[in-house]
Chain A
Amino acid sequence: MSFLTALDILVQSMLLASAPLIFTALGGVFSERSGVVNIGLEGLMVIGAFSAVVFNITFASSLGDATPWVSLLVAMAVGGVFSLIHAVASISFRADHVVSGVAINFLALGLGVYLVKDWYGAGQTPQIPESFSYYRIPFLYDIPVIGPIFFDNFITSYIAIFVAIIAWYVLFKTPFGLRLRSVGEHPLAADTMGINVYKMRYTAVIISGVLGGLGGGVYALTISQIFSAGTITGQGFIALAAVIFGKWHPLGAMGAAMFFGLAQSLAIIGSSFPLLADVPNWVLLAAPYALTILALAGFIGRADAPKAIGTPYIKGKR
């Protein structure tokens, strides 16, 4: 295999595998920056994948080419609504964030598969009729050598990178972002300055739901093409790992998600690369998780969580 073909395959599969992770990890960044732990990212992806697939199958005949796009919007909306459960439990009802996240994961998978069995009479949906396909970016594609490698991929992968940049701008360059981060660092101080802690946290969790749903939807429409209990198995947790490995920074999370996406795709196609043929498959599959532990332990730069993460804010209590 020539070097260029290898690079082509590698870049394509990396961008494909990492797009859902990027969206979901960005969701995680928003929620965790506001001080709400979101173990429920997995569940948000599940519900996003479920709603995108079901909508796609149901409305493909009437919406035609626009179906995948509308499906993603639906996945975002459903993810946002679903994340409200986590928000209500962890912000208003003072539930332990981790426990509430676990409940979200259970609920999403249970509800999704329950409805699929009820509606389709089987453990999995049929294949979606309208999925995304490769998209050639005009002009850029015509650049010799690098054009066909970098600019002929799923459009969702480009959107993911774009959204990561927007997320960075929103979090670090706007008053809204500053407020959101301050609520996660020191809610009492933020409250004193007149920021509505509850409102900020609710907003952040809903954003994480919208992006998590989008991540799941993108996964369903580009990679799995169906929904079943086995569609989302651990991608949400990889996204969570990317949040931490990326040090709770949108662009860091994007980079980590790409890196993890690469590791994931290498596990599948790695055997065709001479250098990697000897690396046991499980090492590549487990690499994202192991690296995250190392990052947390401070072996790969220090990863410090937002100060007030995981603690419910109780007004008037110091």
Chain B
Amino acid sequence: MFERFSRFQKILIPLISVVLGLIVGAIIMLVSGFNPIQGYAALLKGSLGESFYIGETIRQITPYIFAGLAVAFAFRTGLFNIGVEGQLLVGWVASVWVGLAFDLPKIIHLPMAILAGALAGALWAFIPGILKARLRVHEVIVTIMMNYIALHFCNYLIRFVISDEQNTTDRVPESASLKSPFFETLTEFSTMHYGIFLALAAVIIYYIILERTTTGFELRSVGFNQNASEYAGMNVNRNIVLSMLISGAFAGLGGAMEGLGTFGYGFIHGAFSGVGFDGIAVALLGGNVALGIVFAAALFGILKQGALIMPLESGVPTELVEIVIAIIIFFVASSYIIAYLLQRLKKGAK
């Protein structure tokens, strides 16, 4: 994954991985007695076939973009943030909490609730960041553990602090809601909300921070080579913490999208939503670059949304898409072998 590939290979390898993933999916459908063409047709119909489905797909893409940006941002600084799931969850709860606790005009209330999500996510990511910077504790394990602490902590908050021993909180008032009557009428009352604009804005911010600012240069430089960066006078520890903060803020924003837009409330999670883990797939497939993340998030949004219709239309269980995503991750992660085979193929052609 960390080997250097040519520009052409950087685009080709994700494409090949997606195709391989879909082929494996087709084989699994065939073996278990389904018609793969029917299955994939149902998937396409369920994600893009009607305006309602398109609305739902875009709604699904929104948190994927945020989760992908969060994972990718840390990646570029050489950090692996598996904690997006937990950061997303605390962002979700924080935004709903602020949404419920205050009574303000929308122009103040909504930004405040969204920022609360970002802040909570950043705070949750700060812990692994500072532990890595100060004590060299590996961030992968800490972020995994933080996920579960977030899960139990948020469930506690929802049950005993925000609500009165209920399984869900109240709905956030209109003044803190991302719900969009315009999109709803446009897409036959799907749950599509204004969050997609924020997601696209976040992509641009991601690009600007990383590629167009000195801070971004330092962050990437630390990702390439810590020793060289240190030698060049950069503060490696500061950059590690900063990277985790920004990454966590993206994740927290993704949670705010769910809390203020998709659902409009918080609820007790028995297990993770999976958006944060899917974010790893989005970042990897998107090559950790802004545009790539948009495409990857769109692909996974289409797959996930379309999967919901597959059982009805073709009898194929929804989980087929999980398998396809896993295979795609597997091949992107094993890009070394794909690049190697491509090279052999080229040589063979000559």
Contact = CB atoms under 8 A, between A and B. Distances in A.
Contacts of B105: none
Contact of A102 (B3, B82, B322): B82
B141 A297 contact: no
Nearest to B315: A118
B317 A103 contact: no
Interface stretch (B48-56, B167-175, B185-193, B328-336): B328-336
A296 B142 contact: yes
B317 A293 contact: no
A191 interface: no
Given A89-B334, A285-B152, A290-B149, A305 B138 contact: yes
A88 to B, nearest CB: 8
Given A282-B152, A293-B131, A106 B326 contact: yes
A99 B333 contact: yes
B298 interface: no
B1 interface: yes
Interface string A81-110: 000010001001111101110111111011
A114 B28 contact: yes
Contact of B326 (A110, A115, A118): A110
B140 A39 contact: yes
A230 interface: yes
A280 interface: yes
SS class, residues of chain B in contact with chain A: helix
Task: State which size class the interface on B falls in.
Answer: 35 or more
Nearest to A92: B337
A95 B319 contact: no
Contact of A289 (B146, B311, B320): B146
Interface residues on A, range: 35 or more
Given A233-B270, A241-B145, A293-B146, A95 B140 contact: no
A292 interface: yes
Interface string B103-143: 00000000000000000000000010001000101101110
B277 A102 contact: yes
Contacts of A7: none
B263 interface: no
A39 B326 contact: no
B156 interface: yes
A104 B332 CA distance: 13
A260 to B, nearest CB: 11
Interface string A273-310: 00000001110011001101100111000000100000
B74 to A, nearest CB: 12
B149 A286 contact: yes
A115 B320 CA distance: 9
A118 B153 contact: no
A103 B332 CA distance: 10
B247 interface: no
Nearest to B322: A110
A167 B41 CA distance: 50
Interface string A233-251: 1100100110010000000
A117 interface: yes
Contacts of B151: 234
Contacts of A221: none
A113 interface: yes
A117 B319 contact: yes
Contact of B334 (A93, A233, A296): A93
Given A233-B270, A234-B148, A286-B149, A114 B80 contact: no
A237 B2 CA distance: 26
B90 interface: no
B144 interface: yes
A111 interface: yes
Nearest to B155: A282
B323 A114 contact: yes
A230 B270 CA distance: 8
A106 B325 contact: yes
A106 B277 contact: yes
Contacts of A102: 82, 277, 280-281, 329
Contacts of A115: 32
Contacts of B131: 293, 296-297
Interface in B295-345: 311, 317-323, 325-327, 329-330, 332-334, 336-337
Contacts of B336: 93-95
A233 B271 contact: yes
Interface of B: 1-3, 28, 32, 80, 82, 127, 131, 135, 137-138, 140-142, 144-149, 151-153, 155-156, 160, 270-271, 277, 280-281, 284, 311, 317-323, 325-327, 329-330, 332-334, 336-337
24 contacts: A39-B82, A39-B140, A94-B3, A95-B334, A96-B1, A99-B1, A99-B329, A99-B333, A103-B330, A106-B329, A107-B323, A109-B319, A110-B325, A114-B317, A115-B32, A117-B318, A230-B271, A234-B151, A241-B145, A286-B149, A286-B152, A293-B127, A293-B146, A296-B131
| 6 shortest interchain CB distances as A-B pairs | A110-B322, A106-B326, A107-B326, A93-B334, A95-B333, A117-B317
Given A96-B2, A106-B281, A286-B152, 17 more contacts: A93-B337, A98-B80, A99-B329, A104-B326, A106-B322, A106-B325, A110-B319, A110-B321, A114-B322, A117-B319, A234-B148, A234-B151, A237-B148, A289-B149, A292-B141, A296-B137, A298-B135
